[in-house]
């Protein structure tokens, strides 16, 4: 394709504008839709955008500028970002816009870099993010119907939008900022509720706070089926679709809702997401380059999703159903890697973009150097049960039957459920979750002796042994809430009763655990007693904290640099460095073996404090008790993969988008 192919319609378009607008007063900064020339119009002139997705919540603030500049240098006009509600309102009425959550600073940096912004304000965002960005505290009303006109849901949305949108208003393009368009909801046509009143309420709320001028839009799968419940008069309907398909057919679907106006693919997939236990997704560069060329040749607007995926730090990953949580890396096989590295895909797509517009002059910021700090020895600091008083300073909540995380007002991480064995279990006795109510993984021990793991959808029963009256400890991990589809209201913890043989277990002591708080107050060094023997012939060990120190070597310029941490012989857990929660590791399941460690969390003046919570089995009794810092990622290992047909599921989502 040659660029001249698109010149004709643009000239035609320009002519139209000449007669249409030159008789009127065009405001200095304006952005809108022109239905006669099927294009956007910016400052009175036809405008087509090439945009890329970056989620500020997945990139440390320290690196925002670097990533934005790399995006600018790829020839992008705009970036697109989601606003995750649960990231900013962690508890009802408690708002956080500081540090890594400083959305306004991010917008300012984008503007300073010369990038426009397409804001996807939610309230629901999907995004492979915990609960699709909806705060878990919404579930305090158990029967709430999320993403509908449910009055409690709408009241919470209205309150949140009353905080978020007034902050955004000064950043709108016509007010001197970078935001040209604001997306309402996300792929609503894929949701079962199909509640037009809900979309109408959102439209009203958005208009009330942002004014009448800004372009509000929706995004849905490119088919009549998806647009049926996703599109609404007053919201410009755009579509999303993957490379390799029929671009003409996809845009025809958009034309079904918008007979005229600009063609827009709001999510053109540069790669795809991953799940623990499934093969790492890769989408070939040539396929993307070819379809991108077709989209641009047509004069259409496009957003590359993702341009940089980044990282699900801490507990922020989501999950799909049947229950499949996403890993810590959100690399996405995007043009910029998880760590912001320039890839072959970056340069190939930049070249395609360069056929349609002038690329900016200047240097592309180089890939940040990575450093292999090597092995770090860890020491056992105590089991979860041994340090329980520090993890749960307020002590347990007593309840006849188990309570969920939401009932405990703890939304992330881990909760310890304790009861006593009502009878002697001298022979192996069945502990089971007949209603599949372990959400999501439970590490079971009796008086400190590990018994096994229960897992949602996968392992609903184990045998345990122990004496009557012994403590039955069940540490339950929330592995991330479902972010897509009708099972969004994903309660965590023990969401149904457990049975021992046929008997329902009762009289629980439930310990909410503030693991992150305890890690920040140094979980290490308070153990005066001699270390207990960790030798364990079984395959399971009780969940245990390990700590260690990483010293940055002297005499090497420009340290500390980024690095990756890998877990040889470790099984599954969570890691913090200097109190920063880097996320979950699970080399036993894969495909991700290394975690990205951004250099900005490391210091060279004093040793860096490492805390590892290993949930299943460490190498410490048989091999070296070490983790290792390396200079290359490995997120595509071939470990054991699921037997049931994950590929089918993934295809389903693809089909939704085609
Ligand atoms: C955003 O950038 C433009 C130049 O592209 C500038 O005119 C405008 O003042 C900037 N806005 C802010 C809020 O910095
Ligand atoms: C693409 O879709 C259009 C519209 O449905 C159709 O006319 C065309 O034949 C399709 N092209 C291919 C290669 O299938
Ligand atoms: C459990 O077994 C012990 C002997 O090992 C016995 O003393 C005790 O009474 C038994 N308890 C119950 C509840 O059966
Ligand atoms: C539990 O123990 C019973 C009886 O010893 C045995 O038949 C069964 O296979 C065991 N189940 C598991 C999951 O280990
Ligand atoms: C446990 O069972 C009791 C008695 O049947 C029931 O009232 C309770 O709701 C159940 N609890 C959960 C969490 O399922
Ligand atoms: C590591 O922890 C020690 C206390 O055990 C503290 O003195 C030191 O400042 C911490 N290091 C960093 C980098 O936070
Ligand atoms: C993983 O990715 C690396 C780097 O792109 C590649 O060399 C390697 O072949 C891949 N491994 C697998 C198992 O796909």
Nearest CA to ligand 6 atom 14: 578
User: CA–CA separation, 452 vs 469, rounded Å?
Assistant: 19
Q: Which ligand is nearest to the CA of 426?
A: 3
pLDDT number for residue 522: 72
- Could you tell me the CA-to-CA distances from 332 to 188, 309, 337, 339 in Å, in that order? 23, 6, 8, 12
Nearest CA to ligand 5 atom 1: 497
Cα 180 to ligand 1 centroid, rounded to whole Å: 13
Which residue of the set 89, 185, 258, 267 is catalytic? 267
Between 525 and 645, the more confident residue is 525
Phi, psi dihedrals of residue 50, rounded to the nearest 5°: -120, 115
Confidence band for 523, pLDDT divided at 50, 70 and 90: confident
User: CA–CA separation, 330 vs 128, rounded Å?
Assistant: 9
Does the pLDDT value for residue 646 go beyond 80? Answer: no
**Does any ligand 3 atom lie closer than 6 A to the CB of residue 468?**
yes
Mean pLDDT of 52-58: 98
Between 621 and 195, the more confident residue is 195
Does the pLDDT value for residue 64 go beyond 80? Answer: yes
Query: Using H for helix, E for strand and C for coil, what is the string for 582-611?
Result: EEEECCCCCCCCEEEECHHHCCCCCCEEEE
From the CB of residue 178, how many other CB atoms can be counted at a distance below 10 Å? Answer: 22
Task: Please write the tens of the pLDDT for every residue from 86-104.
Answer: 999 999 999 999 999 999 9
Mean pLDDT of 30-55: 97
pLDDT number for residue 589: 95
Nearest CA to ligand 2 atom 13: 246
Does the pLDDT value for residue 371 go beyond 70? Answer: yes
Q: Which ligand is nearest to the CA of 463?
A: 4
- Say if residues 617 and 648 touch (Cβ distance below 8 Å): no
Q: How much of the chain, in percent, has pLDDT values that exceed 70?
A: 91
The whole-chain average pLDDT of the chain stands at 92
Mean pLDDT of 29-38: 97
- Residue 33 burial (10 A CB sphere; 0-12, 13-18, 19+): middle
Task: Please write the tens of the pLDDT for every residue from 277-324.
Answer: 999 999 999 999 999 999 999 999 999 999 999 999 999 999 999 999
Does the pLDDT value for residue 539 go beyond 90? Answer: no
Cα 248 to ligand 2 centroid, rounded to whole Å: 6
In the residue annotation, 267 being an active-site residue is answered as yes
Nearest CA to ligand 6 atom 13: 608
Mean pLDDT of 122-134: 98
Mean pLDDT of 234-258: 97
Q: Which of 132, 195, 141, 135 is nearest to 160 (CA)?
A: 135
User: CA–CA separation, 97 vs 103, rounded Å?
Assistant: 7
Closest atom, ligand 5, to C-alpha of 403: 13
**Does any ligand 4 atom lie closer than 6 A to the CB of residue 428?**
yes
Mean pLDDT of 455-484: 97
User: CA–CA separation, 179 vs 158, rounded Å?
Assistant: 21
Helix axis angle for 151-168 and 196-210, nearest 10°, is 30
**Does any ligand 6 atom lie closer than 6 A to the CB of residue 609?**
yes
**Does any ligand 7 atom lie closer than 6 A to the CB of residue 636?**
yes
**Does any ligand 3 atom lie closer than 6 A to the CB of residue 426?**
no
pLDDT number for residue 650: 43
Confidence band for 638, pLDDT divided at 50, 70 and 90: confident
**Does any ligand 1 atom lie closer than 6 A to the CB of residue 176?**
yes
How far is C-alpha 232 from the chain's CA centre? 27
Task: Please write the tens of the pLDDT for every residue from 570-596.
Answer: 999 999 999 999 999 999 999 999 999
Does the pLDDT value for residue 653 go beyond 90? Answer: no
Cα 194 to ligand 7 centroid, rounded to whole Å: 42
Strand, coil or helix: what is 450? strand
Which residue of the set 128, 187, 338, 541 is catalytic? 187
Phi, psi dihedrals of residue 63, rounded to the nearest 5°: -100, 0
pLDDT number for residue 310: 98
- Say if residues 325 and 317 touch (Cβ distance below 8 Å): yes
Helix axis angle for 344-354 and 285-297, nearest 10°, is 20
pLDDT number for residue 524: 63
pLDDT number for residue 540: 84
User: CA–CA separation, 139 vs 406, rounded Å?
Assistant: 7
In the residue annotation, 187 being an active-site residue is answered as yes
Task: Please write the tens of the pLDDT for every residue from 146-204.
Answer: 999 999 999 999 999 999 999 999 999 999 999 999 999 999 999 999 999 999 999 99
Q: What is the pTM of this model?
A: 0.93
Mean pLDDT of 423-429: 97
33 Cβ neighbours under 8 A, 6+ residues apart: 40, 41, 215, 236, 261, 262
| DSSP codes joined into one string, 95-163 | ---SGGG-HHHHHHHHHHTT-EEEEE--S---TTBGGGG--GGGGGSTT--TTS--HHHHHHHHHHHHH
* Residue 97 in tokens: 């816009």
> 616: left (phi > 0), else alpha (psi -120 to 50), else beta?
alpha
**Residue 471, H or E segment:** strand 471-477
* Residue 485 in tokens: 């589809």
Mean pLDDT of 483-510: 97
Closest atom, ligand 4, to C-alpha of 427: 5
Phi, psi dihedrals of residue 347, rounded to the nearest 5°: -70, -35
Q: Ligand 3: which of 424, 466, 470 to mutate, judged by most atoms within 8 Å of the beta carbon?
A: 424
């Amino acid at each position: 394709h040659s660029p001249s192919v698109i010149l004709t319609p643009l000239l035609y378009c320009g002519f139209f504008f000449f007669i249409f607008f030159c008789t009127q007063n065009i405001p200095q900064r304006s952005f809108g839709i022109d239905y006669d020339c099927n294009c956007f119009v910016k400052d009175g002139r036809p405008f087509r955008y090439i945009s890329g997705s970056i989620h500020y919540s997945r990139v440390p603030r320290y690196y925002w500028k670097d990533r934005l500049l790399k995006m600018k240098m790829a020839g992008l006009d705009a970036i697109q970002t989601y606003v995750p509600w649960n990231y900013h309102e962690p508890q009802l009425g408690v708002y956080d816009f500081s540090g890594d959550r400083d959305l306004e600073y991010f917008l300012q940096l984008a503007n300073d870099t010369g990038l426009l912004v397409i804001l996807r304000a939610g309230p629901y965002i999907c995004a492979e993010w915990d609960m699709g960005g909806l705060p878990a505290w919404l579930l305090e009303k158990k029967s709430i119907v999320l993403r509908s006109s449910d009055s409690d849901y709408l009241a919470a949305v209205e309150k949140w939008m009353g905080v978020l949108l007034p902050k955004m208003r000064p950043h709108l393009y016509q007010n001197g900022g970078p935001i040209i368009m604001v997306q309402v909801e996300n792929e609503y046509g894929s949701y079962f509720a199909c509640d037009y009143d809900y979309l109408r309420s959102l439209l009203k709320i958005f208009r009330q706070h942002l004014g009448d001028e800004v372009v509000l839009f929706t995004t849905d799968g490119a088919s009549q089926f998806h647009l049926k419940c996703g599109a609404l008069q007053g919201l410009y309907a755009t579509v999303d679709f993957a490379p390799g398909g029929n671009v003409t057919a996809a845009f025809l679907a958009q034309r079904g809702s918008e007979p005229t106006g600009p063609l827009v693919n709001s999510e053109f997939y540069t790669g795809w997401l991953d799940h623990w236990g499934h093969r790492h997704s890769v989408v070939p560069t040539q396929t993307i380059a070819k379809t991108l060329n077709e989209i641009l040749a047509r004069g259409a607007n496009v957003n590359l999703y993702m341009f940089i995926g980044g990282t699900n730090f801490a507990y922020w990953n989501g999950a799909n159903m049947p229950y499949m949580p996403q890993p810590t890396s959100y690399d996405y096989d995007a043009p910029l890697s998880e760590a912001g590295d320039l890839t072959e895909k970056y340069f190939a797509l930049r070249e395609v973009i360069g056929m349609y517009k002038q690329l900016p002059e200047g240097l592309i910021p180089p890939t940040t150097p990575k450093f292999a700090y090597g092995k770090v020895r860890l020491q056992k600091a105590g089991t979860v049960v041994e340090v329980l008083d520090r993890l749960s300073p307020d002590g347990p909540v007593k309840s006849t039957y188990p309570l969920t995380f939401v009932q405990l007002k703890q939304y992330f991480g881990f909760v310890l459920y304790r009861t006593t064995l009502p009878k002697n279990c001298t022979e192996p006795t069945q502990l089971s979750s007949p209603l599949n109510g372990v959400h999501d993984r439970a590490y079971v021990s009796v008086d400190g002796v590990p018994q096994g793991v229960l897992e949602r959808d996968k392992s609903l029963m184990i045998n345990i042994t122990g004496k009557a009256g012994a403590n039955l400890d069940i540490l339950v991990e929330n592995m991330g809430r479902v972010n897509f589809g009708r099972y969004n209201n994903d309660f965590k913890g023990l969401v149904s009763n457990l049975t021992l043989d046929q008997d329902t277990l009762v009289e629980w002591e439930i310990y909410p655990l503030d693991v992150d708080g305890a890690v920040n107050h140094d979980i290490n060094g308070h153990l005066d007693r001699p270390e207990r023997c960790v030798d364990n012939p079984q395959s399971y060990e009780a969940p245990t904290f390990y700590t260690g120190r990483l010293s940055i070597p002297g005499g090497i310029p420009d340290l500390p640099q980024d690095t990756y941490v890998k877990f040889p012989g470790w099984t599954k857990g969570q890691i913090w460095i200097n109190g920063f929660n880097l996320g979950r590791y699970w080399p036993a399941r894969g495909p991700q073996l290394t975690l990205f460690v951004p250099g900005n969390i490391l210091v060279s003046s004093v040793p860096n404090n490492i805390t590892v919570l290993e949930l299943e089995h460490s190498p410490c009794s048989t091999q070296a008790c070490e983790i290792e810092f390396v200079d290359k990622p490995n997120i595509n290992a071939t470990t054991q993969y699921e037997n049931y047909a994950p590929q089918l599921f993934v295809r389903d989502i693809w089909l939704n988008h085609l």
